[in-house]
Amino acid sequence: MPDVSSRLAAARLPWDFHPALRPERLRLCARLLVSARRDAVRLAREELGDDAWSVGCRAFAFGKHRLQRVAESREHGWLRVLDGSHHFVFLIEDVPVRFFRGAADDAPERTLRRQEVEAQQLSLALGAERAEGLVFRLAVETGARGEAERVVFLALRGEEGEAECFWPVPLEEPGAAATRGRQLPLLTNEGLLEAPVAPHRHH
């Protein structure tokens, strides 16, 4: 994938592609994915054979489940599931999005593949010409322990995955500067807020 950093200044924002891709909606989806990975890491048992692969599989399943639960609750009417299979495509209004774990500036080839139902839906949402070769992805970047460190919204186009949007999703609510320096509360499986916990100290 081409270097993203050199184009950040000229990159478009998510809502430039479609007004449904609002910051608060992307924040909710990102927080669900962060909490899913956090719980997958907490449940890992190395002494029983858990490794990065098994934690990753569980985190993906947890992320799918949390998005599905919130969609089914209808609390946020804009969130729906288009494809509940292992490809997993969810909708923000009419806009299809998928997620993956990995570096946002080095999306794996498999992430760039478009599912047929995803491509059809994106053409309906944006128009065939604007949707040509385009995918929307949430990249969950992780640290050495497997915990989520950042979630980035990406608009990638073509086989090479040229980045037209690279937008780190702010997990803080607007005006939440007072919470800096400690872990933010995350959405649980039921959509409720948990009390913040002490941050992990890095040595």
pLDDT, tens only, 65-110: 999 999 999 999 999 999 999 899 999 999 999 999 999 998 888 8
Q: Can you give the residue range of the structural domain that contains 64?
A: 5-171
40 assigned to some structural domain: yes
DSSP of 132-149, one letter per residue?
Answer: TTEEEEEEEEE-TTS-EE
Say which residue, 189 or 65, is predicted with more confidence.
65
Query: At a CB cut-off of 8 Å and minimum separation 6, what does 198 contact?
Result: 182, 183
SS3 call for 81: strand
Q: According to the model, what pLDDT value does residue 7 have?
A: 52
41 assigned to some structural domain: yes
* pLDDT above 80 (res 188): no
pTM, full prediction? 0.80
178 assigned to some structural domain: no
The count of domains in the chain is 1
